[in-house]
Amino acid sequence: MDQKKRKIILVCEECLSRNYTFTKSGLTQKSRLEIKKFCPTCQKHQIHKETR
């Protein structure tokens, strides 16, 4: 039972800087991740989306 985990990178919608990395199960989560997190470049909370 070896589940495939993959490393994903979150990118800011405003400034397009790559700020956060996560690991995500590719088998159970098919949709792209979208989280509101703090962007150090913009100095405010922005929506961050998973890159391909």
Q: Tens digit of pLDDT for each residue in 1-52?
A: 456 788 899 999 999 999 999 888 877 777 888 999 999 999 999 999 998 7
CB-CB contact of 22 with 33 (8 Å): yes
**Domain membership flag for residue 35:** no
Domain membership of residue 47 (yes or no) is no
Give the per-residue pLDDT at 2.
Answer: 55
Identify whether 3 is part of a domain: yes
Cβ atoms < 10 Å from Cβ of 46: 19
The verdict on residue 15 lying in a domain is yes
Check residue 52 and give its pLDDT: 76
The rounded distance, in Å, linking the Cα atoms of 33 and 48 is 8
| Residue 13 lies inside a defined structural domain of this protein | yes
**What does the pLDDT read at residue 33?**
87
Query: How many structural domains compose the chain?
Result: 1
Residue 14 pLDDT? 93
Structure confidence at residue 49 (pLDDT): 94
